[in-house]
A and B are shown apart, each in its own frame.
Chain A
Amino acid sequence: MKISYNFAFFDEGSKREIRRASLKAVAIPGYQVPFASREMPIARGWGTGGLQLTLSLIGREDILKVIDQGSDESVNAINIKKIISKTTGVKLTDETNIATLIQSRHRIPELPLNEAQILVLQVPVPEPLRVVEPSEFITKRLHSEMEYSGAWLMLFEEIMKYGNMATGADHPVYVNDRYVMAPSPIPRFDNPKLNYSKALILFGAGREKKIYAIPPYTKVVSLAFDDYPFEVENFGDKSCKICGARGVYLDEIIDEEKGDTFYQCSDTSFCINRLNKVAIDEGGEA
């Protein structure tokens, strides 16, 4: 029994259905559009929402980049790249600036994106109010009524308990002054990149069967209070041990032998590019 798959895995009808949901998402920034999420050859929770978006959008001319928590070579990124490349044969790249389609788990690349690019983010929990309200039926109503006191109270309680907003990644944002949205668990560091982004940003939650979007040039504000402003992660004066970059998101790494801590760029492609540039500047071969 030999079976071959269609271009980009899905049948054309399925792709069209997903694109239709994406268009609706673009038309209503920040609103979670339900869609008939398919089972994929990778596990639910491993980026099936993002994968479905990517497969529905990808054409033969596209150049694809996939990153997992900043890394082009992490298990999830490799896995997704493999299945897309196997079913489409499109060109793959690590370079942020030449990719036309970027699928990412939990990071926005350090290099600013442009209008010709689409960023697809994988979302585990699309509902920003889920922590305060378990029921989908009720959260849907809260969104329609713009009843967001639950989200504000959550932040307020953190300030009361811990002295400041103690959200980790996935700090909620206001999109286009209308919907409160979970930015997928990108670190707070990446939240400002959503605001007036030049690239279209699509969010896919496969298991929860939702698609949502931030169209280009949309106002996105992280939830905060006047007296407790929104703060990104602070790495102080730390820099990347490999390329020396500052002011980027860093991974904290423990040295096996010495037991001390050092830091390294989370965006591996950014890091390697800097290294190559240094090598060229010094006259060596890249």
Chain B
Amino acid sequence: MGYVAVKGGTIAIEESIKKLKYERLKSKKILNVEDIRGGMRGLIDQVMSESSLYSEELAAIAIKQTEGNSEEAVFVLRAYRSTLPRKHYTKIVDTANMSVERRISASFKDIIGGQILGASYDYTHRLIDFDLANETIEEALNWVREFETQDIDKEGNTELGKLPKVVDYLRKEGLIQNCEDDNKQPSDITKKSLEFPSQRSERLQILTRGQTGAVTSLGYAALRAYGSTHPTVGELRVGKLDLYINNPLYSSDDEEEDFYIGDISVTEVESFIPNMVKKKQGKKELEFVIGYGICYGQNETKAIAMSILDHCLETPDDRYPTSNEEFVLYHIDSVESTGFISHLKLPHYVTFQSKLDSVRKTRKEK
């Protein structure tokens, strides 16, 4: 007794960190990074999206390091991201040129190019597949070989890199406003901190980096009761986008000179939302506006929720917190929310002592 908490913290902390490593290894199994990369697509996509760093390999290492704890994995990647200088910016990407793997519309049954179901959990029964407990690599390889060699019905013959956008149809009809491409440099909230009122590019950036659960919850709140939005998914696409940068050796306007640096896999959602517009002489008309969502990897719920929140913030309705940009944008970041909540575990001896003093004083003097 006597020497409470004056010394000894360092050793205790080192031991705690050792214990953490032991927890990861005590079952005497090592998780292979390649296995994580191969079999945990959903988690990798989510982690890459929330950390806004596109690297399957780094995401897999982070997941291994943090024992599959997504908030910690995102944290590790974000901290690493802080040390990376920006060497190049990619050229503008047009998602109409996405090489599509999945594409559905809830607005129209027949869309040009057709509905492409691709890979989705939507059509599965969520029953535990007990056979997976004993899956062997031979079985898996056989299945893959068979799947890859099966005859593909060539009848459709659609070019998957040039599918028209569903929204173009509504544009032609005049039901959605035609607007010019806004190709000015977006502001980047990681280079300049957010100030209000915010710009749309900043809002979209924060939403796409948002914690999946937080974006989903607020999108749900807006949809259920705390927002005036009921969107229809005009088009949901999952696929790959090619990325190019300007020739880094000398400047050139020739597109042929651009450098291809790889592709990223994304989910993109365009939601159609009816909107009233006031015309001349007090006449009112309805038209559709778009709520936009996009995120790394395949994360359809997040992308749809993002499209809802994008609309809530674009056309705010003062009655609802989901339209309050500070409320939404300040509270959905994984690193910020988990960090501040977890700081409550830090010692508050001094600050609490100060509050104790105040509380005692009010008791005494009353």
Contact = CB atoms under 8 A, between A and B. Distances in A.
A78 B346 CA distance: 12
A157 interface: no
A73 interface: yes
A231 to B, nearest CB: 8
A71 B7 CA distance: 9
15 contacts: A39-B335, A41-B79, A43-B343, A45-B342, A48-B339, A73-B9, A74-B5, A79-B13, A134-B326, A136-B326, A166-B358, A166-B362, A168-B354, A188-B354, A207-B340
Nearest to A254: B4
Nearest to B52: A39
Contact of A168 (B1, B5, B330, B358): B358
B8 to A, nearest CB: 7
A214 to B, nearest CB: 19
Interface string B333-359: 001101111110011111111111111
Interface of B: 1-10, 13, 57, 61, 75-76, 78-85, 189-197, 326, 330, 335-336, 338-343, 346-359, 361-362, 365-366
Contacts of A74: 5, 9, 347
Given A11-B85, A43-B338, A46-B342, 5 more contacts: A45-B341, A73-B7, A209-B193, A249-B350, A251-B353
Contacts of B193: 34-37, 209
B192 A187 contact: no
Contacts of B192: 34, 36
Interface of A: 1, 3, 5-6, 9-11, 13-14, 34-41, 43-46, 48, 68-71, 73-79, 105-107, 124, 134-137, 140, 162-164, 166-170, 185-189, 207, 209, 233-234, 241-242, 249-253, 255-257, 264, 266, 268, 271-272
In the A-B complex, list the 9 residue pairs whose CB atoms are closest, starting with the nearest. A44-B339, A45-B343, A73-B9, A168-B355, A39-B78, A43-B339, A45-B340, A38-B82, A209-B193
Contacts of A105: 346
The interface centre, meaning the residue of A3, A43, A69, A105 with most chain B CB atoms within 10 A of its CB, is A43
Nearest to A255: B1
Nearest to A250: B353
Nearest to B324: A135
B49 to A, nearest CB: 15
Contact of B13 (A75, A124, A168, A170): A75
A3 to B, nearest CB: 8
A106 B351 contact: yes
B346 to A, nearest CB: 5
Nearest to A137: B196
